[in-house]
Structure 1
Amino acid sequence: MSQKRTASSSKRKAESDSNSDGVKPVESKNAKKAKVTVSDVAEDNGGGLAPNGQPTNKVLPVKISFPPRAEDTSRIVSWNICGLASSQKKGFKYYVEAEDPDILILTETKVNDEPADLALASRFPYRYWSISEKKTYSGTAILSKHKPLSVDKTLPGHPDPKSIKGRIVTLEFEGYYVVGTYVVNAGQGLKTLEAKKTWNHHFEAYIRDLDRKKPVMWAGDLNVAPTAIGTSTPAVVGLYLTSSDLSNPKTNWNKSAGYTEAETSAFARILNPPNCDAGKLVDVWRKLHPDDHHYTYFSYRFNCRAKGIGWRLDAFVLSERIVDRVKTCEIRSEIYGASDHCPIVLEIAPADVS
């Protein structure tokens, strides 16, 4: 990659100050908006770290490379790109080329039609886009090198099928289902929390039904921060947690979308169903990184990236019976700037469980 691409990125203005769907988390009133310069990028690429241990770069690195994947594994990536058109101007293709995933789950694509992107078409022969009826809003896609057995873009039983468009894509493969979601946001002032509860109710039933048939790999922007350091919420009664999925849990609890009792409890119930006949699911990144305070979303405002102030909204959730096949699950923390979210990547050995 050229330095020119990085320099041009320094001129852009913040395009999204939300954790999803235009919702702003509670942050300091005295915080100042970050400014991006070429010198910032040079310094950050040299190893600058925020207090939580994640890098502080505000545009993509000039050079992107990753370790080779584990032998005989599939590499699956989930990334909220905060608009495909915008992301493509900021280095989207460079990351995809370097990562070279077998399956790429994209959320918040904001496309109005299936993109005629020759580079994506040549890399991923099988592309499935769920497009919102509302223009330049929402949007979910799964791009794959492998042909699925079936494709579904619905959420069975949901009373408003139109609202689901742009939110979910399910691909069935021989060994498992891959479910990509851009989960409903509870909204500014929690005004759409009831819609989120409806989504959660029907999605839980849906993922349970899939899991009874074969293992499930659920990924995307889940729009929930499941845990907080040193708290015992209704979602995790009796547990004292040493990990955190957002920076300021106390000020955000039951005030900000993604961190309410209703949302965290619904997520906890998906992982550990009250019905003992249902299978458990596992938040894989958290299982492999039990003590890390790392995030996938950093607001463009308030210098959040440099301060390490963020939310872990993007995740892989797998049926418990295939978790031992996972070789790695990592947040690509340095891949920031093409979106206000970082990608998360999982490598898994062939799942021949049925």
Structure 2
Amino acid sequence: MPKRGKKAEDVDSADELEATEPEVKKSKKGAAKGLKEKVAEGPILYQDPPNKLTSPSGQKYTLKVTSWNVDGLRAWVKKKGLEWVREEDPDVLCLQETKCAEKLLPPEMREMPEYPHKYWACAGAKEGYSGVALLCKTEPLSITYGIGEEEHDQEGRVITAEFPSHFLVTAYVPNAGRGLVRLEYRQRWDAAFRAYLRGLDARKPLVLCGDLNVAHTEIDLKNPKGNKKSAGFTPEERQGFGELLTAGFTDTFRHLYPDTPHAYTFWTYMMNARAKNVGWRLDYFLVSTRLLGVLCDSKIRSQAMGSDHCPITLYMAL
């Protein structure tokens, strides 16, 4: 379901994901009763628990990373997204769906002295589409763009930063599209991206963050029964994510909070979905499984506004 003002063929995120419950036939009396019950109960909102700032062995965190699909960098800046970032104060800020060529960056983004090292990947010929960014307080050893395959490197979807102890990858994974028109391509992407990450992991452990455009299990979206054939929750996409986990990576949020419900990172702008917490968990921090001993916390900042996604933050004692 695309946002207002967008053509269906231009949708390239979770914009189209169904946000309503499957319809159930009811009598007028039954429907009225159900409505009263829902109003009385109110939405179940996710409450981010207090930050855990130490690893299982008691080491204090040394790395704080925030990831956010901003759904258009220029609009996000106008919605005071940068003010929230300055309060959160991560060591590394990763942004997805920037929809902004580097030459068109808002001056506020250029004038961020707290992040002297800024890297941008844009969609090339497609202006106002896709795009990721990585902003660091400390200069990485190296930066690479894309995953080394021409088919997948035309849309500005991946930046990799190498640090002494680890790689940090930020990604905006392609959506399967309205009517699943890009599902076959998405499957090719998943295989290629998994191979790329495994290659990095063979050199040193890694942290992957970003909008991975999939809700892995039923707990990761409000209405799983009504979305079995929706982009982001098809069996093929969920299987691709599962194969990434079995390749040696761990979903940090579910590792720490395996049974926590109602924890979402995306809500459509339509139908008042965010206020009702009718959402999807599409944004992740994955880490090489051997890094779990230095994992402190993985947060969902659901109260932060400025996009149809909320930011997520990772604490590591690297």
SS in 2 for 1:124: coil
The answer as to 2:264 corresponding to 1:271 is no
Tell me: CA distance 1:92–1:123, structure 2 relative to 1, closer, same or farther (3 Å): same
Q: Which amino acid aligns with 2:138?
A: H
Alignment partner, residue 322 of structure 1? 291
Partner Cα separation in structure 2 for residue 87 and residue 339 of structure 1 = 6
Q: Among 113, 124, 128, which residue is 1:122 paired with?
A: 113
Q: Which amino acid aligns with 2:133?
A: A
Structure 1, unaligned stretches of length 5 or more? 1-12, 31-48, 56-65, 229-243, 274-279
Q: Which amino acid aligns with 1:25?
A: E
Q: How many percent of aligned residue pairs carry the same amino acid? A: 39
Q: Which amino acid aligns with 1:195?
A: Y
CA contact (8 A) 2:299 2:312 kept: yes
The answer as to 2:190 corresponding to 1:200 is yes
Alignment partner, residue 282 of structure 1? 250
Alignment partner, residue 25 of structure 1? 18
Tell me: CA distance 1:67–1:219, structure 2 relative to 1, closer, same or farther (3 Å): closer
1:349 positional shift? 0.7
Give matches, 1:130-209, under 5 Å: 130-133=121-124, 134-162=126-154, 165-209=155-199
Tell me: CA distance 1:15–1:209, structure 2 relative to 1, closer, same or farther (3 Å): same
Superimposed CA distance per residue, residues 235-256 of structure 1 (whole angstroms, 9 cap, x where no aligned partner):
xxxxxxxxx0011111111x11
Alignment partner, residue 40 of structure 1? none
Partner Cα separation in structure 1 for residue 221 and residue 52 of structure 2 = 30
Partner Cα separation in structure 2 for residue 317 and residue 271 of structure 1 = 8
Alignment partner, residue 246 of structure 1? 221
Partner Cα separation in structure 2 for residue 128 and residue 174 of structure 1 = 18
Partner Cα separation in structure 1 for residue 52 and residue 260 of structure 2 = 24
Alignment partner, residue 74 of structure 1? 63
1:24 positional shift? 3.4
TM-score, with structure 2 as normaliser: 0.83
Partner Cα separation in structure 1 for residue 14 and residue 129 of structure 2 = 8
CA contact (8 A) 2:99 2:131 kept: yes
Alignment partner, residue 238 of structure 1? none
1:112 positional shift? 1.7
CA contact (8 A) 1:105 1:220 kept: yes
Partner Cα separation in structure 2 for residue 89 and residue 19 of structure 1 = 22
Partner Cα separation in structure 2 for residue 95 and residue 153 of structure 1 = 27
Partner Cα separation in structure 2 for residue 325 and residue 224 of structure 1 = 26
SS in 2 for 1:75: strand
Partner Cα separation in structure 1 for residue 12 and residue 69 of structure 2 = 10
CA contact (8 A) 1:19 1:299 kept: no
CA contact (8 A) 2:19 2:267 kept: no
1:91 positional shift? 1.3
TM-score, with structure 1 as normaliser: 0.75
1:23 positional shift? 2.4
Alignment partner, residue 223 of structure 1? 213
CA contact (8 A) 1:15 1:300 kept: no
The answer as to 2:317 corresponding to 1:342 is no
SS in 1 for 2:46: coil
Q: Which amino acid aligns with 2:295?
A: V
Superimposed CA distance per residue, residues 188-219 of structure 1 (whole angstroms, 9 cap, x where no aligned partner):
01011111111111101100100111001000
CA contact (8 A) 1:26 1:256 kept: no
CA contact (8 A) 1:50 1:308 kept: no
Partner Cα separation in structure 2 for residue 301 and residue 291 of structure 1 = 28
Q: How large is the RMSD of aligned CA atoms in angstroms?
A: 2.5
Q: Which amino acid aligns with 1:154?
A: G
Tell me: CA distance 1:198–1:304, structure 2 relative to 1, closer, same or farther (3 Å): same
1:121 positional shift? 3.0
1:107 positional shift? 0.3
More helix by share: 2
CA contact (8 A) 1:50 1:306 kept: no
CA contact (8 A) 2:301 2:310 kept: yes
Q: Which amino acid aligns with 1:98?
A: E
